[in-house]
Amino acid sequence: MLGDIIEIAERLWLIEGEMPRDNDRYPDAANVIVYRRDDRLYLIDSGVGPVMRASLERLIEKNRPIREFTLLNSHGHIDHIANNDLMAAVPAASKHHYLSAPGFKLLDGPRYFTRLYDTMNTYYDTFAGFQARQLKYRAAGLVRDVLAFGVGKKRALRMLIPLGTRKFEPVRPSRDTMEAFESLARQRIPLGGEAWTGWVMGANDVLVLEDRGHSPDHMLFYIPEHRFLYAGDATFEFFSVWPDANRNATRNSIAKCVQMVKRGQVQLFADAHHHKVMQDPHAVGAFLEKLLGDDETFQRVLGGVLGDHPGLTIPEIYARLRHRRHIPAVRTYLDREFPHAPPTLQAVILLTLLDMGCRCEGPRRKKRFYPV
Ligand SMILES: [Fe+2]
Ligand SMILES: [Fe+2]
C-alpha cells in the first residue's frame, strides 16, 4: 500500500509507491529506497505526495544520527522527484544530492512535456490517443487547436499540460541542492558480463549504473552489501514512453542485468513501478527475460501489421493491435496503458515504429507508416 515501509534487508528499506488504477485522477508514485551504511544514509528518489513524504520523514528520524546524507535521483521525471525538498530538513553534517546532467531540463515539467507532445503531434493527434476519459481529452484537443490560432501551437500546448501534471503537486525538486553525477569521476564498474560505467558512492556503498534508456539521464543502482539491484523505470513494461527514450539502451541495460543475475550478483531486486521486492534470482531472471521477449514480440507484431497494411496511421495501427489481444505480449501492453499507467499505447506504438526505422509520410498529425 502507498507509503508502506518494507524492510528488504538489514538497514535497507523500500517505501512503497503506487500505480493507481485511474492515472487520470491520481499520480503514479515511484518507490523510494532508503539505505544506511555506518553513519551514512542514502535515499534513491523521493516519490510523490504527503503519504510517501510522511514515511520518508519517519525513516529518516529513525536513522538519526546521520553524518552524511545523499539523495540520488534515478532521473528527473516528476513521479520520482516531488519530495526532493526533504533535503533541507535532514539533520546531517554533510549532504549531497545528485541527478545526471541531462535530467536538469526535465525538471521544468511544462516546458519538457510541451516539447515532447509537440514532437509526437507531428505524427498523430496525441490527445485523441487517450482511450479513457475520451471526452475530456478530445475537448482538450479542441481547445488546443482554437488556442493555437491566437498564441501559437507550442504555447497552446503548454497551457494544457497542467491537465496531466497538476495531480502531482506539490512538486519540489530542490534544484538548488542538485549536483550532476558527471561532476564526479566516472568509473568503469565491472558487474555482469559487460562492464557498466557510472559512479561509486561512499565506501563502495551504492553503485550508480549508467543506463540512459528510459530517459537521457536515467540511472540504475546497485548496493553490493545486499546484492540489491534497483532498476528504476528501466523495467517498466514500455521501453519507449517519451520521444527522448532510447529503446536500445534499455534493452542493453536489461541484458546486462540478466548477466548479473546469471553470475549470482543479484539476490534482491526492485524497480520503481512494480511495488514489490523480488528475492528469488530465478524469478528476477524470468521477469527480465519476459520484458525483453514482450518488447521483441511487440515489434514483430507491429512489423506484421504494417507489412499486411502499409500506409496506416497510428490510430489505425492501434485499432488493428486491439484485434491481436490473444497474443500475450499485446495483451500485457493493452492492459498496462492509460488509465492503468500514464502512457497511451498509441505513443508507445509511434515511438517503437520510429525506433524500428519505419518510413512515414503525410500531413502533420496524419502521418502514414510504411514497413522498414
Ligand atoms: Fe520515468
Ligand atoms: Fe517513473
Quick: pLDDT tens for 31-45: 999 999 999 999 999
If we measure between CA atoms, which residue out of 288, 296, 250, 256 comes closest to residue 270?
Answer: 288
SS3 210: strand
What percent of the chain is predicted at pLDDT more than 90?
96
How many angstroms does the Cα of residue 227 sit away from the middle of ligand 2? 23
Distance between Cα 215 and ligand 1 center (Å)? 7
Enter the C-alpha cell of residue 96. Answer: 549531497
Q: Which ligand is nearest to the CA of 242?
A: 1
Measured in Å, residue 361 CA sits from the centre of ligand 1 at 30
Ligand nearest to the CA of 272: 2
267 CA to centre of ligand 1 in angstroms: 24
pLDDT, position 348 = 97
Q: Is 76 exposed, middle or buried (0-12, 13-18, 19+ CB in 10 A)?
A: buried
Q: Rg for the chain (alpha carbons), in Å?
A: 21
Residue 24, amino acid: D
Helix (H, G, I), strand (E, B) or coil at 42: strand
Q: How far apart are CA 213 and CA 251, in angstroms?
A: 8
Spacing, Cα 3 to ligand 1 middle (Å): 19
Is the pLDDT at 275 greater than 90? The verdict is no
Predicted TM-score (pTM) of this structure: 0.96
Average pLDDT of the segment spanning 208-236 = 98
Tell me the residue type at 33. I
- Give the HSE-up count for residue 74: Cα atoms under 13 Å, Cβ half-sphere: 30
CB 108 within 8 A of CB 189: no
Is the separation of the CB atoms in 137 and 130 below 8 Å? Answer: yes
Ligand 2 geometric centre to CA of 147 (Å): 31
CA of 88 to the centre of ligand 1 (A): 24
**pLDDT of 192:** 80
Residue type, 347: A
Residue 193 has pLDDT above 90, yes or no: no
What pLDDT was estimated at residue 372? 86
Amino acid identity for residue 84 in this structure: N
What pLDDT, in 10s, does the model give residues 163-185? 889 999 999 999 999 999 999 99
Which ligand neighbours the alpha carbon of 341 most closely? Answer: 2
- Chain position carrying cell 481529452: 137
Give the mean model confidence (pLDDT) for residues 5-27: 96
Q: Both ends of the chain: CA-CA distance in Å?
A: 44
β partners of residue 88: none
312 CA to middle of ligand 1, Å?
29
Q: Rounded to the nearest whole angstrom, what is the distance from the C-alpha of residue 81 to the centroid of ligand 2?
A: 10
What is the average pLDDT across 137-157? 93
Which residue is listed with cell 533535503? 87
* Coil/strand/helix, residue 8: strand
Residues surrounding ion ligand 2 at CB below 5 Å: 30, 79, 233, 272
> Do 341 and 28 meet the contact criterion of CB atoms below 8 Å apart?
yes
> What separation in Å is there between the alpha carbon of 312 and the centre of ligand 2?
31
Task: Please give the pLDDT value at position 105.
Answer: 94
Angle between helices 328-336 and 345-356 (to 10 degrees): 130
User: Does the pLDDT at position 95 exceed 90?
Assistant: yes
- What was the pLDDT predicted at 163? 87
Element (H, E) at 5: strand 5-9
Write the DSSP assignment of 253-306 as a string of letters. Answer: HHHHHHHHHHTT--SEEE-SSS-S-B--HHHHHHHHHHHHHHHHHHHHHHHHHH
The SS3 assignment for 163 reads helix
How does DSSP classify residue 326? T
* Angstrom distance (rounded) from CA 255 to CA 249: 10
Going from the Cα of 30 to the center of ligand 2, the distance in angstroms, rounded, reads 5
pLDDT at res. 278: 97
60 vs 34: CA distance, rounded Å: 9
Distance CA 104, CA 199 (A): 18
Residues 6+ apart with CB under 8 A from 145: 156
Environment class of 355 (CB within 10 Å of its CB; exposed 0-12, middle 13-18, buried 19+): middle
Mean pLDDT of 288-293: 98
Ligand 1 centre distance from Cα of residue 309 (Å): 33
* Residue 221 cell numbers, joined: 543502482
* 168 CA to centre of ligand 2 in angstroms: 12
* Measured distance CA(219)–CA(320) in Å, rounded: 35
**CA 157 / ligand 2 centre spacing (Å):** 22
Are the CB atoms for 59 and 110 separated by under 8 Å? Answer: no
Query: Helix, strand, or coil here: 235?
Result: coil
Alpha carbon of 234 to ligand 2 centroid (Å) = 9
Nearest to 237 by CA among 332, 116, 339, 317: 332
Mean pLDDT of the region 347-362: 96
SS3 99: strand
